[in-house]
Structure formats: C-alpha cells, structure tokens
C-alpha cells in the first residue's frame, strides 16, 4: 500500500510534485523546536487547488493521514506527522494571488502565498488588510497564519488574522473542495463572511484538523497616510503592561510590543551590520520626503541599540492616522499614558526600522550567538494583565535555579491585540543547528554554529518548562492561538462544547485522517 500510494501520487500529480527520498522525509520530520519527529511517507507539493485536493483524496482513500504545512515557522508540532503513514502537503507552490478587488475591498490569495507577496500585490492600491502579516512574513504563508492564528502588523487595533478573513477554500478529507463565506454561494462574490452560520470560523485555528486550506479571501481597508513611532522605557513589566492596556482600550495603537532587556539584546542581532545599509535604505525610502527619510535614517544609525539596555523593559509602538494633526494628537495621548505609568521617552528607531522593513530575514529564530529559541504564549482579558504578570514573575522566579542549571535564558514579550493582552515568554539555550534553521536563515548565517552538538538534556528541560508554563496560563484563564498538538485545547473545553467539537470532527473527517492529534482530537 505504501509503494502503491506514492506511485499513485506521482502518476496523478507528477514526479516533480512528490518527494519520497530519505533526506526530504527527515527534513519534514522537524519543526523549529520539536525534533526529531516521525518521518512522513512522502511530501506532496501541489501546484493547484485541484492537485492538492486529489492528493488528499488519494491519501485518505489509502488510509493515510494528511498533514498540511505552510512556511515552516511553527514550533507547536503543527506540521509534524503523528504517525508514519502520513503525507505532508507542502502548500508553498499554491502561491498565486487570485484576485485583487479594490472596488469591493478584498484580496483572494492561495494558501501558499507569503504575507510579503500579499502586501506586494496591494502596492499602488492604497489598501491594506487590517492584519497584514507576522514578523516572519517573508516566509510565513496565508494558510499557515489561518491554521495557527497569528498577530502582529495591525493587530493592536484590528486583532488577529482571523478577524480579517472573509472566507476560505478548503479540501476536505474526501477530496471535495468547499468555499465558505459569500464566495461559497452560487453566483456571488467573496465579499462578506456573513449571510448565515459562520462556516469560515470552523477552519481558522484548526491546524488542518478539519481540512487543508487552499485559498483565502481577506478584507481590505484604506491604508492610513500618516504613521508615527514611539518607544518608552519602563522600570517594571507591570507598569509597561498597564500602559499597554490603557493604550489598547483607547484604540490608539496600530501595532506595538513590549520586551525585556534580554529580549532586546537577542533581538538586536536581527539588525546586523551586514544588513545595515539595506535597513537604512528602507528607512530613508519610508520618509515623507527624500530629505526627511535621510534624516530619519541618520537618526537610526546614530541611536544604535545600546539605549535598549538602559531600561529593564522597553515598549515600541506604531500609531497611524489619516491626517498629520490627528497623528500628532494621538502621539501626544500615547506619550501622556506612558508617562502616567512611569514610562521614559526613548529614541524611536526600533519601531521605525521594523515598519520600514516589515518582512526582513527571520533572524530572530536564533539568539544573538546562535542559541536555539522557542516561545510560549497565552492571551488574557485586558483587565487581567496585572494579575497575570504578577503570577508570571513569581513562577519564573521560582524556576530560575532550574533554568540556570540547564543553561536556559528567559526573555518575555507583551502585546495587546484588540481586546486581549498577549504574553509570550521565550527561552534560549545552546543546542544543535538543524537543517530547518539553515534553510530558513541561510547557510551564511548559521555557519559559525553548524558544528555545535545536540543538547537533548537542555531541550527536554525547555519542553518541561513550556508544559508547566502552559498549565500556569490555563489556570489563570488564558487562551492559546497556535494550538496544533502542543497547547492544551480539547481537555479544557466544557463537556458540551467538547462533544460538539468531536461531532464536527466526525462529520468532516470520519476516519480521523486530517492531521491526527491536532486540537487534541485523536484518530477515530
């Protein structure tokens, strides 16, 4: 059956669309954190929605599990097979922009399009999606973001990517293709998510448990014409968090994030000297005029990143408005809020550079000296921010001796996304560099650390620490976005809600072959 399925996939999709060699199978058995995993039977790289659906039909017909994969940025076992009889569907060749419709304010893109591609397709329209990509948008795909949920650019104001989606096209377990939202009606454009039950929501954050995403339609908004940048230093994470909450409630910020000194030191390595000219060129190009852009670029170069180390916590913000007077007023309100919570105004080079070059290399997936990196996150009601931050501090203070013994370095980031408070600790430790890191960052970046030996003891300690952190956040009422097979989900649902989830899985995937184990849903 194994040989017959691979042969059938090759015959149907072509030899160039099917990888079954040992090296490819090993590569696709790892994500950013979890390795080594179970090697899939084969990897399918379909170039059309029909080919992807046919691959699903052939695989499930042979009793083989189907695991979707986007840009490969996951660290939650999202695209790792749970069993050897699995095929991975690598969606990156599904990378067409199907339609840009400025008049009706939407864009439809295939699931393998990166967020950098989507934004490039919108250049010149004066439009942008409310959420317009993660920091890893040069690699991260539309389908991956919808499967895992995602937040960053535009998210403080507009929420996660799920809030920007109008409809999706999905291959179900039997190989049929369905479209949700108004695009699923006969003779209708995909202009709205409304008009009956929200079938789109079923496939958002599901990590492929209900189907493989083939395309999505995303709503558009006029892009604000003016942007301003602010950074502040804070003595405590509690003060910074309370400032973020107040700013979030006032809906003043387009996007922003707070980080501790450790995160600042490791993240500063993203802006390496070798990238300096590119970054300064982008900053100069983003100015309101050529001279203003050059002046901004000179300011960024002079500031460097040393000022970040002078404060235990720093907050970096982007504010957008449609007129300069409105922007100035908003910047003044934000500055006043920061001051009320003990914030000190800093040079604004960090948010300025990130906006000038939003989809740069994903250098942050390793630390300053090539340390391995993995985060853990949860979101909470805005009103719970102070309580959660106090509990988080107490937890990691108690964990400090064990982390030091294992060589684990702790950092933390905070954001607000619409009406949610987002908390993301991250861990750095010395370990081997995997082929996935090399493929994502480039051999030139990872070459100095390529010979570093594996450190399974430290990796196991990080896994244990992440699990305990997940338990803490669940006990505080937190919710996770990137559930996959890493975060708890099904076991946290109320019994009736859990039964409804199980019934939906049974209806859409009766044999339990769509990414088994995702959302805590085992194969039937």
pLDDT of residue 208: 96
Q: Give residue 307's pLDDT band: very low, low, confident or very high (50, 70, 90).
A: confident
Q: Count Cα neighbours of 146 within 13 Å in the Cβ-side half-sphere.
A: 35
- Among 329, 356, 383, the domain-final residue is 356
Indicate whether 267 and 208 sit together in one domain.
Answer: no
Residues 322 and 384 in one domain: no
Q: How confident is the model at residue 353, as a pLDDT?
A: 84
Based on the structure, what is the number of domains in the chain? 4
Per-residue pLDDT tens over the stretch 438-456: 998 889 889 999 999 999 9
pLDDT of residue 285: 57
**pLDDT value at position 323?**
97
What average pLDDT does the segment 385-406 reach? 97
Please check whether residues 391 and 459 belong to one and the same domain: yes
Assigned domain for 249 exists: no
Is the CB of residue 401 less than 8 Å from the CB of residue 478? no
Tokens of 176: 């049929």
CA distances from 182 to 22, 186, 221, 440 (A): 43, 9, 19, 36
Q: Is residue 510 part of a domain?
A: no
Query: Are 449 and 344 within one domain?
Result: no
Same domain, 177 and 195: yes
Examine the domain organization and report whether 230 and 351 are in the same domain: yes
Residues 320 and 409 in one domain: no
- Is the pLDDT at 297 greater than 50? The verdict is no
Tell me which of 54-58, 286-290, 305-309 is least confident. 286-290
> Is 394 among the domain residues?
yes
Residue 297 is part of a domain; what is its CATH number?
Answer: 3.30.70
136-187 residue pLDDT tens: 899 999 999 999 999 999 999 999 999 999 999 999 999 999 999 999 999 9
Q: What is the pLDDT of residues 55-94, one digit of tens each?
A: 999 999 999 999 999 998 889 999 999 999 999 999 999 9
CA-nearest of 290, 240, 243, 283 to 260 is 240
Q: Which of 305, 338, 356 is the last residue of a domain?
A: 356
In this structure, the number of other CB atoms found within 10 A of the CB of residue 463 comes to 16
Statement: the pTM of the whole predicted model exceeds 0.85: yes
CA-CA distances (angstroms) from residue 318 to 259, 305, 345, 415, 502?
15, 18, 14, 12, 42
Same domain for 20 and 101: no
- 373 and 470 part of one domain: yes
| Three-state DSSP class for residue 366 | strand
Partners of 318 in the β-ladder: 229, 255
Is 520 within a domain? no
Q: Residue 393: what pLDDT?
A: 98
Expressed as residue numbers, the domain containing 369 is 365-475
Q: Is residue 495 part of a domain?
A: no
Report CA dihedral (260, 366, 114, 284) to the nearest 10 degrees.
60
Do strands 313-321 and 106-110 pair parallel, antiparallel, or not at all (unpaired)? unpaired
The dihedral over CA atoms of 120, 45, 489, 31, expressed in degrees to the nearest 10, equals: -90
For residue 124, tell me if it sits in a domain.
Answer: yes
Q: What is the pLDDT of residues 247-286, one digit of tens each?
A: 999 999 999 999 999 988 887 544 443 344 355 455 455 6
**What does the pLDDT look like over 212-226, one tens digit per residue?**
999 999 999 999 999
């Amino acid at each position: 059956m194994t040989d017959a399925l691979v042969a059938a996939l090759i015959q149907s999709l072509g030899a160039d669309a099917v990888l079954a060699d040992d090296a490819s199978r090993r590569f696709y058995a790892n994500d950013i954190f979890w390795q080594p995993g179970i090697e899939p039977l084969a990897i399918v790289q379909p170039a059309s929605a029909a080919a992807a659906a046919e691959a699903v039909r052939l695989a499930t017909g042979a009793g083989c599990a189907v695991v979707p994969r986007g840009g490969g940025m996951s660290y939650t076992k999202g695209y790792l097979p749970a069993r050897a009889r699995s095929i991975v569907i690598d969606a990156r060749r599904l990378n067409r922009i199907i339609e840009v419709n400025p008049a009706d304010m939407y864009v439809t893109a295939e699931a393998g399009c990166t967020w950098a591609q989507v934004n490039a397709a919108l250049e010149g329209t004066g439009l942008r999606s409310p959420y317009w990509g993660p920091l890893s948008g040069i690699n991260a795909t539309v389908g991956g973001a919808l499967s895992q949920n995602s937040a960053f650019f535009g998210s403080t104001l507009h929420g996660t990517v799920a809030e920007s989606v109008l409809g999706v096209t999905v291959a179900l377990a039997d190989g049929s293709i369905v479209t949700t939202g108004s695009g699923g009606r006969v003779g209708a454009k995909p202009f709205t998510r409304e008009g009956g039950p929200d079938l789109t929501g079923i496939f958002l954050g599901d990590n492929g448990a209900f189907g493989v995403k083939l395309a999505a339609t995303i709503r558009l908004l006029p892009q604000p014409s003016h942007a301003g940048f602010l950074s502040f230093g804070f003595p405590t994470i509690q003060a910074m968090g309370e400032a973020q909450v107040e700013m979030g409630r006032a809906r003043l910020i387009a996007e922003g994030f707070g980080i501790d000194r450790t995160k600042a030191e490791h993240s500063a390595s993203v802006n390496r000297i070798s990238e300096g000219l590119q970054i300064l060129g982008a900053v100069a190009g983003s100015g309101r005029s050529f001279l203003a852009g050059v002046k901004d670029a000179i300011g960024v170069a002079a500031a460097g990143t040393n000022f970040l180390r002078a404060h235990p916590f720093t907050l970096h913000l982007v504010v957008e408005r449609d007129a300069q007077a409105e922007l100035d007023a908003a910047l003044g309100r934000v500055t006043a809020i920061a001051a009320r919570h003990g914030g000190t105004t800093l040079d604004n080079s960090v948010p300025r550079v990130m906006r000038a070059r939003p989809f740069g290399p994903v250098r942050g997936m390793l630390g300053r000296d090539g340390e391995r990196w993995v985060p853990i996150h949860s979101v909470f009601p805005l009103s719970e921010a102070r309580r959660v931050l106090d509990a988080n501090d107490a937890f990691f203070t108690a964990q400090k001796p064990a982390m030091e013994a294992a060589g684990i370095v702790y950092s933390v980031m905070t954001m607000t996304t619409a009406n949610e408070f987002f908390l993301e600790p991250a861990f750095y430790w010395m370990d081997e560099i995997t082929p996935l890191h090399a493929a994502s960052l480039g051999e030139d970046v990872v070459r100095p650390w390529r010979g570093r030996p594996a450190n399974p003891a430290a990796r196991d300690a990080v896994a244990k620490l992440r699990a305990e952190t997940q338990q803490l956040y669940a006990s505080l009422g937190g919710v996770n976005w990137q559930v996959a097979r890493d975060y708890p989900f099904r076991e946290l649902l109320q019994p009736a809600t859990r039964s409804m989830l199980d019934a939906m899985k049974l209806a859409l995937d009766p044999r339990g072959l769509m990414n088994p184990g995702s959302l805590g849903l085992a194969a039937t």
